[in-house]
């Protein structure tokens, strides 16, 4: 099982599939998931001659569960250490949800010397929580409710999220996949309680405005206009105005879980963007 150890002793698990000499594409997962949530994309791109890499963020999946360091700066620094460990260059970075924030913060802290393009899917930037300067954001009470639900019965909460808004299975006429629900629950339940609890603050309250401004590379935003987790009006439609070279594609009726629900279209859009 491939792992590497960060400077603070945290062991990070990662997958490294496909052609080791091929063009590099990395995937950063959402909360409270792990690299398994990218398996469809990983398989697709590895099968097309790419080198596809995805890691389990600290506190998630098969990586260590440290009590400290569950914050966006450290997430980005861990990923940068993985880039250095594997000596990745000319990389296309892909991030979903919280992972989109991780990609933005990576560039904000470490620049684009190793990165040529980025794709942010249903991503949290620029900032999710409602503030005086961000009146269109989500009230902090919603995220407080996440934390309260975790403390009361994390297992039940981690069933309710995928059964409802994450995949859009709560919409009339939606074709529900019990397998997707169980997979989400399983990924969430093997994650660190402390790590996932701390991460709620990170994906909701981190301001990525300045990070987006520093993304001086082509960036593709993919977002569903029926995203019930990261509403498009408070995220992608604002982020596009901050990116120096941004392109926004809206998926009509698309839910938050675009990589899972709109798999073929997402893969095609990423592939076309990389080749452009």
Whole-angstrom CA distances from 54 to 30, 39, 61, 108, 264 are: 12, 9, 12, 20, 19
Q: Which helix (H) or strand (E) holds 187?
A: helix 178-190
Looking at 28, 35, 97, 204, which residue is catalytic? 97
Q: Is 29 a catalytic residue?
A: no
Looking at 78, 235, 256, 269, which residue is catalytic? 256
Looking at 56, 227, 235, 269, which residue is catalytic? 227
Cis, peptide link before residue 271, omega less than 30° from 0: no
Copy the structure tokens of residue 144.
């407080």
For residue 221, give every residue at least 6 positions away whose Cβ sits within 8 Å of its Cβ, in sequence order, or none: 119, 120, 121, 123, 236, 239, 240, 243, 246, 247, 248, 249
Q: Is 192 a catalytic residue?
A: no
- CB of 34 within 8 A of CB of 61? yes
Q: Is 97 a catalytic residue?
A: yes
Centre a 10 Å sphere on the Cβ of residue 207 and count the other Cβ atoms it contains.
16
**SS3 state of residue 80:** helix
Active site residues: 97, 227, 256
């Amino acid at each position: 099982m491939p792992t590497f150890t960060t400077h603070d002793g945290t062991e990070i698990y990662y997958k490294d599939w496909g052609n080791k000499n091929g063009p590099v594409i990395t995937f950063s997962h959402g909360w409270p998931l792990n690299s398994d949530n990218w398996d469809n994309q990983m398989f697709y791109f590895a099968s097309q001659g790419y080198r596809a890499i995805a890691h389990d963020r600290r506190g998630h999946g098969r990586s260590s569960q440290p009590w400290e360091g569950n914050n966006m700066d450290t997430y980005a620094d861990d990923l940068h250490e993985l880039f250095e460990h594997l000596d990745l260059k000319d990389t296309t970075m892909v991030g979903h949800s919280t992972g989109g924030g991780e990609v933005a913060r990576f560039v904000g802290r470490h620049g684009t010397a190793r990165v040529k393009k980025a794709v942010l899917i249903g991503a949290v930037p620029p900032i999710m929580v409602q503030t005086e300067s961000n009146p269109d954001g989500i009230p902090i009470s919603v995220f407080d409710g996440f934390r309260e639900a975790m403390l009361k019965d994390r297992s039940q909460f981690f069933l309710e999220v995928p059964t409802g808004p994450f995949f859009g299975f709560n919409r009339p006429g939606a074709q529900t996949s019990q397998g997707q629900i169980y997979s989400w629950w399983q990924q969430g339940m093997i994650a660190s309680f402390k790590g996932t609890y701390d991460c709620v603050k990170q994906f909701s309250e981190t301001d990525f405005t300045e990070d987006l401004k520093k993304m001086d590379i082509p960036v593709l935003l993919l977002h569903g206009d029926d995203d019930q987790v990261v509403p498009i009006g408070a995220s992608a439609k604002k982020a596009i105005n901050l990116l120096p070279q941004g392109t926004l594609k809206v998926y009509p009726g698309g839910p938050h879980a675009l990589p899972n629900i709109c798999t073929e279209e997402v893969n095609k859009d990423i592939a076309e963007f990389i080749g452009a």
